[in-house]
Structure 1
Amino acid sequence: MDHEDQTAALLAPSPEFLATVHVFPLIPAIKKDVTRTIDSALTWDQLTASDINFTIVRPIVLKYAKLKNMAVVFACLVNRANFLEESEDDLAYAGVMLSRATLCEILAMKLLSHFASNHINLVAVLTTSWSPLAGASPEVIAEVKQVLGSNANVSDAQSALEVAISTQAKQFISSPVAQKVVNDIYTGRIVFSTAATRSMLADNYKPKAITIYDSRDAPFLDHYRLRVPKYGAILEFLNFACLLVTFVLCLSNQDPTQVTLWEVIFVIFAVAFTLEEYTAATEHGWIIYIANMWNVFDTSFVLVFLCYAGMRIKGLSYGNLASSEMAFDVLACGACILFPRLAFFAVSNNVVVLSLRAMIAEFIFFMTIAAICFSGLLFTLWTLGKASWTIKGIAWLMVQIWFGNTYLSFGQAESFHPFFGPILMTAFAALSNTLLLTILISILSNTVARIDANATQEHLFQFAISTIEGVKADALFSYQPPFNLLAFVVLKPASYVVTPRTLHTLNVSLIKATSFPILVVIGVYERYFAAGQSLRESSVDAAHTLFNSLPRQIKNMPFVEALVGSTSSNLYEAIFEVDGPTGPGLFDESDDEDFPQLRSFASHDTLRSADHVQRRPSRVSLAPRSPHRTTSPGPHGSPRRRPLSALDLGVASAEVPSSGRSPLAKFFAHVDPPPVSPAGQGHVEATMRRVETMLEDLRELPVHRLKDEMRELQERQARIEQLLLTLTRGMRSSDTGTGKLK
């Protein structure tokens, strides 16, 4: 029986439920609230400040969190994309639009945390492809079609992660909640598939719902594991290594007059590589595809290969030996891309590599601007010295002067013109070597500093891009080059004539036949050597046992300690896992009573078990009360919750918290009167003195201080509202004045 036909419990929301989610009403509603709220340019730090968060962000978040709509994060990011586009169109209000886009990103981050309690729903919120027109009326859909055109595709859907990548919402992507989902997708712990809409070869017969992968329930040869980004990165490295080897052998055995065996093998691998890159760009869209810095290298090599192929075909068809030789010369330039590309696989997440990418982009932009600026000088020099100079020669001379050969400008200046030549060449040498190169170095230095400061966000952003690219719905992505060419030749024509079920069966059979060794290795690894498997755990335990049995002299050797790790950390972890009492007589109870605390009485640190009902004095807290549970460290130091008994719970007052040891509780507590006897007369006097002390303590209760703090908060809120009202009134006055001037 096919494992895919077995009925499995769906842990994620069903497709029927997701189809009923209304997306479109959220988009204009969020835009209206954000537009009404932000009327001035604010930075990220200002929007995340406590006062702005309390008065502006939190009410909006609570408003949309009550809807429990799983598309609300997607709607916030769609509004971010709209505000970013408006900031480019209207430069006068670019700062305001960017602030609104930033607020949309903050709202998306905070609303995403409301779905974090259910991990499967959290994954569905980020990975489900939402249609922005879902829930819209037919009139709205007709208007959108009229704006886009009759041939526009209005059913194009994207996930929240894809929109975040396209809008470069790096703060949102680098947030812990989003990265938890990205890490689970990358390692294959979360398994899902989306319907392919723009793919070269779509296989949508059995889309997998979002589930948590368990190797014990999955088939041994599971072809879906080929789409796990972690395994895909390893296979991509091996495929690229094979392409590089065939590239080197092709150039080492080149023959312009005929086609060699190594050239044929290289062409097959290169065509398969080109098909894979084109399929990825088609499936994810050019914006998401090009956002990955490594895809720029891949696209550059594809262009080099296409130029080589065109020249080589021309040379072989017409017997043009010069064209064939030029084809191999062009192909040789591809080594400048392939060798660094393979090397960067190992250090793709290094800060130096991220800085290098940004520096290359800044350098290309700066050089383009400089070339445009000096094109006028090139034309002037050609006009003055066209009798003895060509444009190519003048351009090469200017390049040499630009990169440091300043003496050439003085030696060749008079060859252009006896009067204007020295003046122009001296000015060009001064500008290029003194001014512009200094500016270029400053720009590159600032770029490195900026990337170094935001290295974590940039790394997580690139990691999210590669992960989303790894979960590809196109059927061709399950084939390793050059077998994707075979799948394309066989399955693409078959998709027009066979049923979806037959196409799916044929696709699965071909994947297992072409990737059988890879599936076997993945199956063995996940069942025996992956984290949490019995064989790996037993091996680790055996290694620890062997290490503990070694003599102390061997354990303390620097090489062994560096290889295994220090034993001090294990000792520290063991100390904190032991839930033992403090030393006897170390502190008095009075010291615990007077210890300052900034938490409410219901905090889990202040609760006691039913066997020790001793309550510490609580302090005043303005935070809303919520039920708490005590925690005890688990086997690995993580908190383990336990249910509370009735004696564990305490009642916290909003104004004057009371506890078993507060002065007020001691005063009103029932105390049995001591027997009247001469011997107990001193005890009665001591009791009276204690009562007087308690009355003195009642005067120092923090009731007045709490009232002062509440009054201060009210005054601060009133000042903020007055400030916002003043800003809004000023904006309206300026708009009215502008309208009158018009």
Structure 2
Amino acid sequence: MAQLPQTPLSSGPRTGQSEWQLPLPDIDDDEPLAEVLRQLSGFFVDAIEAPHTFEQLRTASIGHILKPLIRSLSERCHHPDVISALLILKWRFASGEQDDRGVNEARGYACEIVAWNFLAHLPEHELIDYLLHELTTLQFDSPNAPADAEEVVQEDVQSSRRPEDGNDVERSGLLWGRGPAVTQTSLKDPRMVTENDEPLSSFIGLNALEIAAVIEAKQFLSQRVVQKVVDDIWNGRIIFWESLSVHTKKKAKIYNSGRADPYCRLRVPKYQKSFEAMFFALFLVLYYAVLVERKPENFTVVEGFLYVWIAAFAYDEFGEFQDAGSSFYGTDFWSLWDLGIIGIGFAYMISRVIGLAKNDAYITDVAFDILSLEAVFLLPRVCALLSLIPFFGTLIPCLKEMTKDFIKFLGIVVILFCAFLTTFTMLARGEFTANEMLWTMINIFFGSSYLGFDIATKISPALGPALMLCFVVLTNILLLTSLIAILSQVFTKVMNHAREEYLYQYSVFVLEASASRRLTYYFPPLNLVPLLLFRPLRLCLPSEQIRSARIVLLKVTHFPYIASIWFYEELNAVMNRWQTSSRFQKRLHFVNADQNTPIPHLQPHLRSRSELSVPKTPASGGRPGQGLSESDIAVVLRRIDERLAKLERKLDRPGT
């Protein structure tokens, strides 16, 4: 197995060497990714030799050691995968051999800081290119590398891409390949990179934002410059599909209403989630209608629609699972609710059909009882959009972490509970059955201590009271108090990083909706139409014809969705124009009568009075005495936006 040279970047020991004299990576635009990783990792290994927190590296004096690298990358590096390389290095340091001092963790934080500051120096179009550029192939220029190394990697990439419903569209899940073989990879030497290195092959097909979500780079994702891109993806200002044709490829770009196909707006995450909420609302209506009507002996039309809704939702979730991958799919808080809805729905459908086929009233009643459980998962799922609100969205990571620790703590509780249950059951044989004793102990555990003391002598006149006292003290005092303390500690820990946790969940929420490589995406329950229509045709028609037919079917069936999106966007544009006009009407109040004075409340932020002065001569179409024309207002708006953009970039940079 060939491997790249392991020579460290620094030519000699660092004793007596200034930190500012560390050799900087020299990365060419066409440098292989493996070489980029080697050079960057060598710098971080040499630069960071002590543990530091993210805030210390960002604000303290130790953080200045990263500034030469940031400056060098910003001025000389134009490699499209440099952000992805920095994030992969963060994962490598975090998943490497653990050290007691936490130096590898500090190096991972340094990678995030360098990536964030590199992005802060970029204009918007380059920001999109760096964050949303996907890793494609790996090339190795080592003299020991085999000639077919690239072909080997290409085969691995192709194996992780699967067609959907006859489409030859490449698609890879966000965590495709992130299995035990990857997570258990050790990092003995961060400079070591080979053509079969798991961290490299595991991230092929992902862009930098998706890699950040995969490796849980929460500090990087929470930065303003990164969140602006995530917000633009959510709102549809950045799109991945501009047209619907057989040969269309996925590529991130700024949305242009004049060029883009209107049906590509179906892929905007904000609209997808909105129509998903409407689907769940109709699901809930059908659910209540079936339970309220409740006709065990007959199969009703409403019940048939409920079956369609359950099947469509299950098929849609299966597609999302394939798009995102198992690990990324599990990071979504609502995925467990979705699986619960599907599981209960299918259990109801199966038992209902069996009950009707056998004409068994008992099985039919059990089927409706199972359907009654659906509300436990369906009602919270209808309100899933509330997780986009920071107040509610912050509580979700808290609940996830507290649930994990509660399950861990539950193991100790079960062990002690089983021990006392066995003892009490043996002592009370003839007085209490095992089921009666189990239910009594559950009541005692949840606070009904008096029940235990009342039956203690019945269990055993000699040993019963003492054992019951020990059980009550262990459960109601020690275990419950310890559990509350542990959960409080977890809650405090998560809330201390509430902003990062919320923005991470929000980013996953957005990226999961935009990660699909499917050219045509059908909203449920319409997704059942191409499933029933085109699946059989795949045996006799070429894939291009099927893709073309799917596009036509999408435009026919989803016209109402496009109409509602168009109406919303037009109404929103009118409201924005009205608000802009109203805002400038208020600002014009501060303009002097001679129309030669800049807006007063902006004057402290301008370099000179002439930078934002109002022209003396009115624009074409205007008359003296009418005030500012529309072209003058547009000039003022543009200059204000440019000034605010400069201030935002300064705020994003450390030390300003």
Q: TM-score, normalised by structure 2?
A: 0.72
The one-letter amino acid of 2:637's match is: P
182, 188, 204: which one aligns with 2:236:
188
* Secondary structure at the counterpart of residue 462 of structure 1: helix
Query: Does the CA contact (< 8 Å) of 2:397 and 2:494 recur in 1?
Result: no
Task: Tell me the residue number matched to 2:249.
Answer: 207
Task: Tell me the residue number matched to 1:60.
Answer: 69
Cα distance, 1:126 vs structure 2 = 1.5
The one-letter amino acid of 1:513's match is: V
| Distance verdict in 2 for CA 1:351–1:525, change over 3 Å | closer
* Residues 1:432 and 2:467 aligned together: no
The one-letter amino acid of 2:231's match is: N
Task: Tell me the residue number matched to 1:128.
Answer: 133
| Distance verdict in 2 for CA 1:214–1:143, change over 3 Å | closer
Task: Tell me the residue number matched to 1:462.
Answer: 505
Query: Does the CA contact (< 8 Å) of 1:194 and 1:473 recur in 2?
Result: no
Task: Tell me the residue number matched to 1:423.
Answer: 466
**1:506-563 deviation per Cα after TM superposition (whole angstroms, max 9, x unaligned):** 111111111111112223443x3233xxx54665589889xx9xxxxxxxxxxxxxxx
Task: Tell me the residue number matched to 1:111.
Answer: 118
The one-letter amino acid of 1:33's match is: F
**What are the within-5 Å matches in structure 2 for residues 562-573 of structure 1?**
none
Partners of 1:394 and 1:418 in 2: CA distance: 16
* Residues 1:341 and 2:381 aligned together: yes
Task: Tell me the residue number matched to 1:77.
Answer: 87
Cα distance, 1:49 vs structure 2 = 2.7
Partners of 2:588 and 2:538 in 1: CA distance: 59
**1:391-444 deviation per Cα after TM superposition (whole angstroms, max 9, x unaligned):** 544443333222211112212334444444333332222232223333333444
Cα distance, 1:223 vs structure 2 = 1.5
Cα distance, 1:203 vs structure 2 = 9.0
| Distance verdict in 2 for CA 1:143–1:398, change over 3 Å | farther
Query: Does the CA contact (< 8 Å) of 1:24 and 1:136 recur in 2?
Result: no
**1:251-308 deviation per Cα after TM superposition (whole angstroms, max 9, x unaligned):** 2233444533222211110111111112112101122222222223222322322333
* Secondary structure at the counterpart of residue 290 of structure 1: helix
Query: Does the CA contact (< 8 Å) of 2:421 and 2:441 recur in 1?
Result: no
**What are the within-5 Å matches in structure 2 for residues 138-177 of structure 1?**
139=146, 156-177=204-225
* Secondary structure at the counterpart of residue 635 of structure 1: helix
**1:108-160 deviation per Cα after TM superposition (whole angstroms, max 9, x unaligned):** 2122234x22x22321222222147355765366998999999x987842111
Partners of 1:310 and 1:570 in 2: CA distance: 69
Query: Does the CA contact (< 8 Å) of 2:133 and 2:208 recur in 1?
Result: yes
Gap regions ≥5 residues in structure 2? 1-28, 157-180, 183-194, 612-633, 644-656
Partners of 1:572 and 1:459 in 2: CA distance: 41
Partners of 2:132 and 2:38 in 1: CA distance: 22
The alignment's C-alpha RMSD in Å is 4.0
Cα distance, 1:235 vs structure 2 = 0.7
Task: Tell me the residue number matched to 1:22.
Answer: 32
Partners of 2:364 and 2:98 in 1: CA distance: 51
Query: Does the CA contact (< 8 Å) of 1:253 and 1:260 recur in 2?
Result: no
**What are the within-5 Å matches in structure 2 for residues 376-387 of structure 1?**
376-386=416-426, 387=429
Cα distance, 1:177 vs structure 2 = 1.3
Deviation larger for 64-73 or 266-275: 64-73
The one-letter amino acid of 1:336's match is: V
The one-letter amino acid of 1:72's match is: V
Query: Does the CA contact (< 8 Å) of 1:413 and 1:425 recur in 2?
Result: yes
Partners of 1:170 and 1:75 in 2: CA distance: 17
Cα distance, 1:483 vs structure 2 = 0.8
The one-letter amino acid of 1:240's match is: F
- Name which one, 1 or 2, has greater alpha-carbon Rg: 1
| Distance verdict in 2 for CA 1:481–1:179, change over 3 Å | same
409, 412, 416: which one aligns with 2:455:
412
**What are the within-5 Å matches in structure 2 for residues 512-661 of structure 1?**
512-526=555-569, 528-531=570-573, 535-536=574-575, 579=597, 605=607, 634-635=636-637, 638=640
Cα distance, 1:335 vs structure 2 = 0.5
| Distance verdict in 2 for CA 1:132–1:494, change over 3 Å | same
The one-letter amino acid of 1:298's match is: D
Query: Does the CA contact (< 8 Å) of 1:203 and 1:500 recur in 2?
Result: no
Partners of 2:560 and 2:216 in 1: CA distance: 39
Task: Tell me the residue number matched to 2:290.
Answer: 250
Query: Does the CA contact (< 8 Å) of 1:530 and 1:536 recur in 2?
Result: yes
Query: Does the CA contact (< 8 Å) of 1:312 and 1:327 recur in 2?
Result: yes
Cα distance, 1:241 vs structure 2 = 0.6
| Distance verdict in 2 for CA 1:284–1:136, change over 3 Å | farther
**1:210-242 deviation per Cα after TM superposition (whole angstroms, max 9, x unaligned):** 3322223445xx211100112112111111111
Q: TM-score, normalised by structure 1?
A: 0.64
Task: Tell me the residue number matched to 1:508.
Answer: 551
Query: Does the CA contact (< 8 Å) of 2:420 and 2:471 recur in 1?
Result: no
The one-letter amino acid of 2:106's match is: S
Partners of 1:277 and 1:136 in 2: CA distance: 42
* Residues 1:489 and 2:529 aligned together: no
Cα distance, 1:461 vs structure 2 = 1.9
Cα distance, 1:34 vs structure 2 = 2.3
Partners of 1:93 and 1:341 in 2: CA distance: 42
* Secondary structure at the counterpart of residue 258 of structure 2: coil
Query: Does the CA contact (< 8 Å) of 2:54 and 2:109 recur in 1?
Result: yes
| Distance verdict in 2 for CA 1:337–1:69, change over 3 Å | same
Identity %: 25
Partners of 2:409 and 2:206 in 1: CA distance: 36
* Secondary structure at the counterpart of residue 241 of structure 1: helix
* Secondary structure at the counterpart of residue 34 of structure 2: coil
Size of the aligned set, in residue pairs, is 541
* Residues 1:280 and 2:338 aligned together: no
Partners of 2:511 and 2:229 in 1: CA distance: 11
